């Protein structure tokens, strides 16, 4: 049980910490709709 917990915690710390309020950039395509979508 100790090993499992340690791995879980380590894995947690490896993740890149995201700043609070991080918003991923919009996908590059498709672009914005200028009139309406059919």
Partner 1 sequence: APAAPPAPLGCDDPESEAAAEVAVNYINGHSHHGYKFALNRIEDVRVVPQGPNNDIIFLELDLLETKCPILSPTPLANCTVRSFTEHAVEGDCDVKLQKLDGKISVLASKCHSHADSSEDISKVCPDCPQLASLNNTEVLETVSAALNDFNSKTTGPYLRLLEIGRGKIQYHPAHVVAVEFAVGATNCSAEEAKVNVGACQLLPEDQSNFGFCIGTMVKLPTQNLEVDCQLYGHQPGVTYVHAGQDTS
Question: What radius of gyration do the chain's Cα atoms show?
Answer: 20
Residues that bind partner 1 (CB under 8 A): 28-38
Pair of tokens at residue 3: 């090993």
Q: Where are the alpha helices (DSSP H) in 1-38?
A: 2-14
CA distance 15 to 13: 5
- Looking at the Cβ atoms of 23 and 33, the one nearer to partner 1 is 33
Q: State in angstroms the smallest separation of the CB of 31 from partner 1.
A: 3
Q: Provide, rounded to whole angstroms, the least separation between the CB of residue 24 and partner 1.
A: 14
CB of 35 to partner 1, least distance (A): 5
């Amino acid at each position: 049980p100790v090993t499992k917990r340690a791995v879980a915690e380590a894995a947690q710390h490896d993740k890149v910490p995201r700043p609070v309020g991080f918003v991923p950039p919009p996908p590059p395509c498709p672009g914005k709709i200028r009139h309406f979508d059919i």
